[in-house]
Amino acid sequence: MAKKTIKKYNQITISISDPFLNYIDSARMLPGTKEKFGKQPTQDQFLKGVIYYWIKKHAPEVLIEHLNDNVPEISEHNSLKH
C-alpha cells in the first residue's frame, strides 16, 4: 500500500493597511533584496526571511544552531542565498 503524505500548514494572519502592504512589496522588489536573498523572493519568502533575520540579530539565543537544519523555513532561507 502506498504511503500517503499529509501536509499540515500553519498560518499567520496579519491585518495591515494597503499602504503598508505596498511598502512590503516595494522592499521586496529592491535590488538589495534580490542580492541578499539570491533571487527575488516571494512575499512569503520575504516575510519569513525578515522574521528570521530579526531573530538571528536580536534574539540569537532563540536559535539553536544544531537544530537549524530541522527547521524548513531556515533551510529554505539558506538555500535561497546559495
Q: What is the pLDDT of residue 4?
A: 67
Q: Please give the Cα distance from 20 to 35 (Å, whole number).
A: 23
Instruction: Please provide the distance, in angstroms rounded to a whole number, between the alpha carbons at the two ends of the chain.
Output: 38
> Distance between CA 2 and CA 23 in Å, rounded?
46
pLDDT computed for residue 1 by the predictor: 57
Residue 56 · residue 28 · CB < 8 Å: no
- Residue 55 CA to its chain's centroid (Å): 12
Q: Could you tell me the three cell numbers for 78? A: 539558506
Say how far residue 71 (Cα) sits from the centre of its chain.
11
Q: Please indicate whether residue 61 or residue 6 has the higher confidence score (pLDDT).
A: 61
